[in-house]
Structure 1
Amino acid sequence: MSPSAAAPSARQTELLEAAYRYVLAHGLADLSLRPLATAIGSSPRVLLFLFGSKDGLVRALLARARADELAILDPLRGPGGPIGLTAATERVWAWLAAAGHRPLLRLWAEAYARSLVEPDGPWAGFARATVEDWLAVLAACQPPAERDTGPGTTRRTLALAVLRGALLDLLATDDEPRASAAVRHHLALLDG
């Protein structure tokens, strides 16, 4: 069993968190183990031992980012029953539009795009998995009578498409008022 397949050690968890903070600040493009290791107080050899390979480390970092993403979405599945697609979309957008979340969202966008152009690398399946995660959460927010219908699937797919499009626009332009106005307009149409 490789070190990365076993339960993570305290050192592996510590280095993963430090590496995660590093990639939130610097991105994954052109990630090199030597500068990363220096920045987090380790060595390339230790990182390779703990994560098996650079690809193993990238996969662990993407899993860590996905855990943050799911933590954002989990409260929408509240115990009080479905909150509705419009309310869920509003809450998600409010989180996405907050300036403090841009590092995670830039990392998400980079990993999403790389998984589309490098489908066999460490990014494999990242884009599909995040779409499925978000659609599942949005489905849980819909009333049961709507959730399992064709129109229900279409409504949550459209909500996700608008959120993702507005997010990419926001990351590109930093024009939060314009992107938020577009999301609010979409929500009004969704409720229409």
Structure 2
Amino acid sequence: MGRQPQPHIRDELLERCTDHAIESGLPTRLDPLVKSTGVSARMLLYHFGTRDDLFLAILRRARQRQLVTFGDLLRVRPNEPYARTLARAWATMTDGEGKPYLRMFSQLRVNAELSLWPDFQRSATLDWLEPLEIGLLSIGRPQTATLALAVIRGLLMDIDATGDTTRANRAFADFLALLTPPETAQAEST
């Protein structure tokens, strides 16, 4: 009779593996995860089955964390124009606590790990439409959620490809100005 799996140990290992992957990117081998967790590769495989099962579990846990973090950034705040909320969210996503998530998931889009999560691109797009739509409803522009998402994703890809954050930030500020009616922008500046 073999040892019974212990879900709390698996969850603790998954948390530590996810922390490592968010900080350093998803590894291609188990060695970095062995070092970060302090357990053997055999123990990781005991709890997760295969390397790919472990990697997929890490990606899903990281995605859960990202959804919570970015969802909070995109949440409507009373007495704050949504364009200002989006500006703060953009700054946090591109230069703050969101940056490791972007690095990790952009790596997923371009690497072979996509085979681990074939539907990732679709869900990574659709997950953000509703929070953006709700936020943009606060300024009477819910129909622009797809446009806002396309601008955000496009500029993130631009930063990833060129490293020119200054130019992308300027473009995002220009986009936010288009979302804000001139009379609202004027009232906010006074």
Common topology (TM > 0.5): yes
Larger radius of gyration: 2
The count of aligned residue pairs is 175
Deviation, structure 1 residue 92: 2.3
Asked if 1:93 corresponds to 2:90, the answer is: yes
Q: Distance in 2 between matches of 1:124 and 1:81?
A: 40
Query: Alignment RMSD, CA only?
Result: 2.8
Q: Distance in 2 between matches of 1:179 and 1:12?
A: 40
Corresponding residue for 2:24?
Answer: 26
Q: How many percent identity over aligned positions? A: 34
Corresponding residue for 2:149?
Answer: 160
C-alpha deviations, 1:87-117, integer Å up to 9, x for none? Answer: 4432321212225543221101112334xx6
Q: Distance in 2 between matches of 1:77 and 1:26?
A: 28
* Greater mean deviation of Cα atoms: 36-45 or 137-146: 137-146
Choose which of 150, 173, 189 in structure 2 pairs with 1:184. 173
Choose which of 143, 146, 161 in structure 1 pairs with 2:137. 143
Corresponding residue for 1:123?
Answer: 117
Give the counterpart letter for 2:12 in structure 1.
E
Deviation, structure 1 residue 159: 0.9
Higher relative contact order (CA 8 A, sep 6+): 1
Gaps of at least 5 residues in structure 2 are: 182-190
Is contact 1:20-1:61 (8 Å) kept?
yes
Q: Distance in 2 between matches of 1:171 and 1:50?
A: 34
Deviation, structure 1 residue 191: 3.0
Gaps of at least 5 residues in structure 1 are: 1-5
Choose which of 57, 60, 65 in structure 2 pairs with 1:60. 57
Choose which of 127, 130, 143 in structure 2 pairs with 1:133. 127
